[in-house]
Structure 1
Amino acid sequence: MSELLLARIQFASTTVFHFIFVPLSIGLAFIIAIMQTLYLVKNAEIYKKMAKFWGKLFLINFAVGVVTGIIQEFQFGMNWSSYSRFVGDVFGAPLAIEALLAFFMESTFIGLWIFGWDKLPKKLHLACIWLVSIGTTLSALWIMAANSFMQNPVGFVLQNGRAEMNDFLAVLTNPKLLVAYPHVIFGSLATAAFLVIGVSAWNLVKKRDTDFFRRSMTISLVVGLIASLGLSFSGHSQAKYLMSAQPMKMAAAEGIWEDTGDPAPWTLFANIDVENKESTARVEIPYLLSFLSYGKFSGSVEGMNTLQDKFVQQFGEGNYIPPVKTTFWSFRIMVVTGGVLVLFSLIGLFKIWRKKLEQSTKFLKWLVPLIFIPYFGNTFGWLMSEIGRQPWVVNGLMLTADGVSPSVSAGQILFSLIAFSLIYTLLAIAMVYLFIRVIKQGPNEKPLEDVSATDPFSTGRVV
């Protein structure tokens, strides 16, 4: 395999694995903050237990996520040095702010939150977890600002053979960032909500701590429904944005080779024939693509063949059509996962309203595997966004093939790919083991063992 292919495989694998932890940290911090707020408002110990129990899972996830993030960043210097030189002046600024501001903010207040129980005043301790939640969302903001530049370069000038920032505000108000960032936050909230829902459902089936897990599920179903609906609306905003900023990605996501008529139908399923550049056996919904693209039931969409001709004239000879099958099916899997989350959130809240949740054993069993649905949505959404941008690593400025390190061999990349994969496997095993252990222990903390009879310091005497 070529250096380019191996470098892309490594970046994709490490990013997908790292992105397992990031959304969960963002969403869990927010849900825990809600639970602790209820503890302060209602002065009910059960909400304190909820914050502590789900906080254990948050801390495990956060710790593993930090390690995977460090490993991921090695790649910029290892495999993508040409890319790093070209965009380092722009790309490096938000990443540096993320590390120096958001990450240190998270870490500081996580420490205060962990050790501040019964030591800090309740309101101050509550402020700590809210600041952790704010820190995680700010962290996502800076990361998405960097990624949005790759999708839609703004706030720079080309000089000295590289992109140099000349407008930091433009980077922070990038139209791509404004539509992508809410989508990421809603996805994170859905990820955490359905983890809590799934774990709670498993315990309700087992009839363990039913009041605790029913309350946990109620909070998370509300968060899950809001997040799932938010995903739908923010996804629609992104589709409208793609029509003007990245029309090739939109055409590939819809499997459109030739210009559509007016109005344009949305394709549920199709057989994508890349060799002959056509999509056959299409199952379509009339008018819907026009609505997704323009917010109205009229308007045509340019096909990939038309756009390819335009890009050849603009950028020179080359193939500017991304991997169509991957982009097409990734988009549909993402849409299906969003629909599933909305449906089960509504059913769950309806059953709670009717006070039939605990008796609905079959429904609770269905909720357990839904833990993984947001992860599928996050992963395939990322694949659609990044693969749909190909062949560009920075849209319209730098081809992916030009961003690879010139002095790194395929053997070296393969060795690091295997090494990172082994590290990630060990981390995954450790995290799953710790998660299962905490979940099985449940929310009831064991009392501290009485060691006064054997502890020479227990009486206060110096021995």
Structure 2
Amino acid sequence: MDVVDLARLQFAGTTSIHWLFVILTLGLVPLVAITHTAAVLSRDQERKAKLLRATRFWGQLYVVNYALGIVTGLVMEFQFGLGWSGLGKVAGNVIGAPIALETLIAFFAESTFLGMWIFGWGRLRPALHATLIWLVALTAYASAYFILVANGFMQHPVGHEMRDGIAYLTDLGAVMTNPSALLALAHVTVAALMTGAMFVAGVSAYRYLKGDREFFRGWLRWGTVAGAVLSIAVYEVGALQYPLLGRTQPSKLAAAEGGGFVALAHDVMVYLGYTINTITAIAAILVFFRWAVRWVAWLTVVIVPLPFVASLGGWLFREVGRQPWVVYGELTVDQAVSHVSTATMWTSLIAFMAVLLALAIANWWLIVRFVRRGPDGVHIGQEEQWA
């Protein structure tokens, strides 16, 4: 393998692992915010206590995933700088600002609000405390928007002009409202929410099978119903992108209909999507009417990985499908890759992947550990005073 192949493999590996953290983060944070808000607004003390217990439990899982996901994001920054200096040189004037904003929001604003929320139990007034988790959710999706603005330019470059091989920004509004970015954001949003719903359903099903039925029966019902509805939304929003691809990236659309890795990634996304839609629809009906709940619970646990794999297939299709371009029609992969030795790229690839795999294993080990402990084994909010 030459430097270009190694750089591509490094980008694919680091981005894919980071993405698995991101999609769960985006999927869980609205649930935590809504549950916390419902607890604050409830006047029924028994219901308030149950909702706060749920907020702590789901919030604990969210915090674990977010904390380790931040570290994977730092590794991403290093691999960008090491492997793709040509991208910054050619397109930095356009994509530099949204990437900088994403970094500021994700690593500073979002982390600050989350830290205040974690340590605010028993120290802040309930309304202010609940507001903080909404700010975490807002900054999480703002971060996703800005990174997709940068990625959208790479998919469908707009609002710029090329002078001496360098892209210069000419229309900020066009870049910020790039349809490639906005449609991707909509697709990512519903896919993340579906993933979060199925994660909640799977965790609830596991706890239900372990005998914790009173607390998790409702969450199992909610997760399967929400997963079924959102899986339809994922399909509908995803279908909106095909006409855009036909106009802006016809080669990607042709690759999806042909053979090879691009077609495989596309088919994984589509056919797993169909599978998820079918299973969640059946599970939602059975759970809603309380038919064969135990059988549905086992099935729900088993299919938790499916939305992660499907979304990963979609992300690989989006990225690999525009080959040989990094910025479509403007900058090729060969031009964007850094001038480093093969040995250097091998070393960074092995080091980055080792760190990321260790983080992924640690993340799921901790999540499984807290799931097994159940709602009484969380550390967040143990000394709450105001509720």
State the TM-score bracket (shorter-chain normalisation).
over 0.9
Equivalent residue runs for 1:157-172 within 5 Å = 157-172=161-176
Q: Which residue of 2 aligns with 1:349?
A: 284
**What is the SS of the residue equivalent to 1:393?**
strand
Give the helix-richer structure, 1 or 2: 2
**What is the SS of the residue equivalent to 1:153?**
coil
Offset at residue 376 of structure 1 (A)? 0.7
**What is the SS of the residue equivalent to 2:375?**
coil
TM-superposition CA deviations, 1:246-274 (whole Å, max 9, x none): 1111111112xxxxxxxxxxxxxxxxxxx
Offset at residue 366 of structure 1 (A)? 1.0
TM-score (norm: length of structure 1): 0.78
Structure 1 residue 436 and structure 2 residue 371: aligned? no
Structure index of larger Rg? 1
Q: 1:212 is matched by which residue type in structure 2?
A: F
Structure 1 residue 373 and structure 2 residue 306: aligned? yes
Contact 2:3-2:342 at 8 Å conserved across structures: yes
Structure 1 residue 31 and structure 2 residue 35: aligned? no
Q: Which residue of 1 aligns with 2:3?
A: 3
Structure 1 residue 332 and structure 2 residue 335: aligned? no
Q: Which residue of 2 aligns with 1:224?
A: 227
Q: 1:230 is matched by which residue type in structure 2?
A: A
> Take 1:90 and 1:164, find their aligned partners in 2: how far apart are those partners?
6
Contact 1:193-1:223 at 8 Å conserved across structures: yes
Contact 2:224-2:280 at 8 Å conserved across structures: yes
Q: 1:412 is matched by which residue type in structure 2?
A: T
Q: 1:327 is matched by which residue type in structure 2?
A: V
Offset at residue 83 of structure 1 (A)? 1.7
Q: Which residue of 2 aligns with 1:279?
A: none
Q: 1:246 is matched by which residue type in structure 2?
A: Q
Q: 2:263 is matched by which residue type in structure 1?
A: F
Structure 1 residue 138 and structure 2 residue 71: aligned? no
Contact 2:195-2:308 at 8 Å conserved across structures: yes
> Take 1:160 and 1:47, find their aligned partners in 2: how far apart are those partners?
59
Deviates more, 1:420-429 or 1:58-67: 420-429
**What is the SS of the residue equivalent to 1:396?**
coil
**What is the SS of the residue equivalent to 1:143?**
helix
TM-superposition CA deviations, 1:75-100 (whole Å, max 9, x none): 22211111211111111110111122
Q: 1:52 is matched by which residue type in structure 2?
A: R
Q: Which residue of 1 aligns with 2:383?
A: none
TM-superposition CA deviations, 1:54-89 (whole Å, max 9, x none): 111111110111111111111222111112111111
Q: Which residue of 2 aligns with 1:101?
A: 105
Equivalent residue runs for 1:107-122 within 5 Å = 107-122=111-126
How many residue pairs get matched?
Answer: 375
**What is the SS of the residue equivalent to 2:322?**
coil
Quick one: which of 247, 251, 273 aligns to 1:248? 251
> Take 2:342 and 2:313, find their aligned partners in 1: how far apart are those partners?
27
Contact 2:25-2:66 at 8 Å conserved across structures: yes
Equivalent residue runs for 1:390-401 within 5 Å = 390-401=323-334
TM-score (norm: length of structure 2): 0.93
Gaps of at least 5 residues in structure 2 are: 380-387
**What is the SS of the residue equivalent to 2:376?**
coil
Offset at residue 445 of structure 1 (A)? 4.4
Contact 2:370-2:378 at 8 Å conserved across structures: no
Q: Which residue of 1 aligns with 2:335?
A: 402
> Take 1:445 and 1:330, find their aligned partners in 2: how far apart are those partners?
39
Gaps of at least 5 residues in structure 1 are: 256-323, 448-463
Offset at residue 339 of structure 1 (A)? 1.7
**What is the SS of the residue equivalent to 2:109?**
helix
> Take 2:268 and 2:115, find their aligned partners in 1: how far apart are those partners?
38
TM-superposition CA deviations, 1:364-387 (whole Å, max 9, x none): 111112110011111110111111
Contact 2:90-2:165 at 8 Å conserved across structures: yes
> Take 1:103 and 1:166, find their aligned partners in 2: how far apart are those partners?
29
Offset at residue 225 of structure 1 (A)? 2.7
Deviates more, 1:104-113 or 1:135-144: 104-113
Deviates more, 1:111-120 or 1:173-182: 111-120
> Take 1:130 and 1:212, find their aligned partners in 2: how far apart are those partners?
24
> Take 1:79 and 1:105, find their aligned partners in 2: how far apart are those partners?
28
**What is the SS of the residue equivalent to 1:368?**
helix
**What is the SS of the residue equivalent to 1:444?**
helix
TM-superposition CA deviations, 1:29-52 (whole Å, max 9, x none): 011112222223334111111110
Q: Which residue of 2 aligns with 1:187?
A: 191
Quick one: which of 190, 200, 205 aligns to 1:201? 205
Offset at residue 351 of structure 1 (A)? 2.3
> Take 1:144 and 1:353, find their aligned partners in 2: how far apart are those partners?
37
> Take 1:87 and 1:349, find their aligned partners in 2: how far apart are those partners?
47
Contact 1:103-1:136 at 8 Å conserved across structures: no
Offset at residue 149 of structure 1 (A)? 0.5
Offset at residue 340 of structure 1 (A)? 2.3
TM-superposition CA deviations, 1:403-456 (whole Å, max 9, x none): 1112x0011000111111221222123212211211111102489xxxxxxxxx
> Take 2:122 and 2:287, find their aligned partners in 1: how far apart are those partners?
33
Offset at residue 342 of structure 1 (A)? 2.0
**What is the SS of the residue equivalent to 1:158?**
strand
> Take 2:262 and 2:346, find their aligned partners in 1: how far apart are those partners?
26
Structure 1 residue 91 and structure 2 residue 95: aligned? yes
